[in-house]
């Protein structure tokens, strides 16, 4: 019984996702579709079909980097809702750099462009971090506001100073051929971007598991007072973790330009910053799991269109199902497992020291 319970608690995220998909099947059935057929098509197209998989991978890279952009500050106790804005500024910086480095050898130019993207995102996020650190202004509000400002700055840039000559609608010039990321799967759009995402996930996992930098962030996130007492510069941790998150989101924006779009235009990111928040929370802020959740979310999105075409079920249902998934996963993570255990073990409560039954966690 107890082992079953431990297993259920350990697997609560997959269980919650399964429950959400089950709930979603009611929606599909309500839309007079066959849920089994619809899900079958959705997952087959998203993960098993060559073209579908390439489409999934294209979406995975920005979502994964945006998820990491949420996870790093979250470990330090900060909510970065500004991934979307950081993606835009990253894309802007990358495009400016790429357009100015035409003719420069790739070995120099590509790292410079990527560095520019990361710097742009980092600065944009550090602004929120600094306001939080020195003025105590809620980073949720600031990053949210900065999203809109960033989107409109890019809109201004591509319809004004960066607009391609003779362009029918606002977009920038194309970046030089030499700077475009190599394609991973021949004949498709699937580019190398996902390698960047996986490398970043591995690096951040290592930082949190093995280094004092990660440890310091974790401590600052759990208790600012304890961190201060231990001699950590909490203000610096705040700015640093936000800037690191911003750099990752900025990289996502840069890669979107270098790997897929090849130019900058208004609304070039399809809400990947917000998908990243979802992907991050599905992992309970664990960087090593972020590739899995991002791949899954990307697959749901890329499979949605096919489901619509083949099974006649409107693709918008997938958006609703993603909403249900977050609700279920978030509820399963927030669920007080210690209370659940205590409740289920009521029968043999005498054997449990009273300390275990009483509340351990406090806010």
Partner 1 sequence: MDALLDTGAIALLLAATVRLAVPVGFAALGGVIAERSGVYNVGLEGMILLGALGAAAGTLATGSPIAGCVVGVALGVAGGLLLGLLSITFHVNQLVAGIAINLLSAGLTAFLARGLIASLFGSSSVAGFSQVRLPGLAELPVIGSALFTQDPLAYALMVLTVLVAFVVYRTHAGLRLRAAGENPRAADSAGVNVTQVRFTALAMSGAFAALGGCHLVLSQIYMFSEGMSAGKGFIALAAVILGRWHPVGAVAAALFFGLCEALQLRLQFSNPNVPYQIFLILPYAASLLVLVWFFGRSRQPAAAGQVYERESR
> What residue ranges bind partner 1 (CB under 8 A)?
27, 30-31, 79, 81, 131, 135-138, 140-142, 144-146, 148-149, 152-153, 155-156, 159-160, 274, 277-278, 281, 314, 316-324, 326-327, 330-331, 333-336, 359, 361-363
- Kindly state the smallest distance separating residue 190's Cβ from partner 1, in Å: 26
- Kindly state the smallest distance separating residue 181's Cβ from partner 1, in Å: 29
Paired residues of 163 in beta bridges: 172
Using an 8 Å Cβ cutoff, are 234 and 224 in contact?
yes
Paired residues of 132 in beta bridges: none
Collapsing DSSP to helix, strand or coil, 231 comes out as coil
Q: How many CA atoms lie within 13 A of 340 on its CB side?
A: 12
CB-wise, 118 or 239, nearer to partner 1? 239
- Kindly state the smallest distance separating residue 201's Cβ from partner 1, in Å: 21
List, in order, residues 6 or more apart from 160 with CB less than 8 Å away.
Answer: none
List, in order, residues 6 or more apart from 177 with CB less than 8 Å away.
Answer: none
CB-wise, 228 or 284, nearer to partner 1? 284
> In the chain, what are the helix, strand and coil shares in percent, each to the nearest 5?
75, 0, 20
- Kindly state the smallest distance separating residue 38's Cβ from partner 1, in Å: 13
- Kindly state the smallest distance separating residue 16's Cβ from partner 1, in Å: 12
CB-wise, 137 or 202, nearer to partner 1? 137
CB-wise, 102 or 319, nearer to partner 1? 319
Rounded Cα distance between 13 and 120, Å, is: 34
- Kindly state the smallest distance separating residue 333's Cβ from partner 1, in Å: 8
CB-wise, 351 or 361, nearer to partner 1? 361
- Alpha-carbon distances, residue 123 vs 5, 7, 240, 275, 308 (angstroms): 45, 43, 10, 22, 41
CB-wise, 101 or 130, nearer to partner 1? 130
């Amino acid at each position: 019984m107890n082992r079953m319970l431990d297993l259920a608690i350990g697997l609560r995220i997959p269980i919650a996702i399964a429950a959400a998909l089950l709930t979603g099947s009611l929606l599909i059935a309500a839309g007079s579709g066959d849920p089994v057929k619809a899900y079958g098509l959705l997952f087959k197209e998203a993960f098993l079909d060559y073209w579908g998989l390439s489409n999934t991978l294209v979406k995975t890279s920005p979502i994964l980097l945006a998820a990491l952009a949420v996870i790093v500050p979250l470990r330090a106790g900060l909510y970065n809702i500004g991934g979307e804005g950081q993606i835009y500024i990253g894309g802007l910086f990358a495009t400016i750099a790429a357009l100015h480095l035409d003719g420069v050898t790739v070995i120099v130019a590509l790292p410079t462009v990527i560095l520019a993207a990361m710097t742009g995102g980092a600065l944009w996020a550090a602004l929120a971090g600094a306001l939080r650190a020195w003025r105590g202004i809620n980073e949720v509000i600031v990053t949210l506001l900065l999203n809109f400002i960033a989107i409109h700055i890019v809109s201004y840039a591509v319809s004004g100073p960066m607009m391609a000559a003779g362009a029918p609608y606002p977009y920038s010039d194309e970046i030089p051929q030499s700077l475009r990321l190599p394609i991973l799967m021949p004949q498709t759009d699937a580019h190398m971007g996902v390698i960047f995402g996986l490398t970043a996930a591995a690096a951040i996992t290592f930082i949190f598991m093995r280094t004092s930098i990660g440890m310091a962030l974790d401590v600052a996130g759990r208790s600012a007072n304890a961190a201060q007492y231990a001699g950590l510069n909490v203000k610096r941790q705040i700015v640093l973790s936000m800037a690191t998150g911003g750099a990752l989101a900025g990289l996502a924006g840069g890669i979107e330009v270098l790997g897929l779009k090849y130019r900058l235009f208004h609304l070039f990111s399809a809400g990947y910053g917000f998908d990243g928040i979802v992907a991050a929370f599905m992992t309970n802020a664990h960087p090593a799991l972020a590739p899995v959740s991002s791949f899954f979310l990307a697959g749901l999105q890329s499979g949605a269109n096919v489901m619509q075409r083949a099974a006649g079920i409107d693709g918008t249902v997938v958006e609703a199902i993603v909403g249900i998934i977050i609700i279920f996963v978030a509820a399963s993570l927030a669920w007080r497992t210690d209370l659940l255990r205590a409740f289920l073990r009521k029968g043999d409560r005498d054997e449990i020291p009273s300390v275990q039954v009483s509340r351990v966690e406090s806010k």
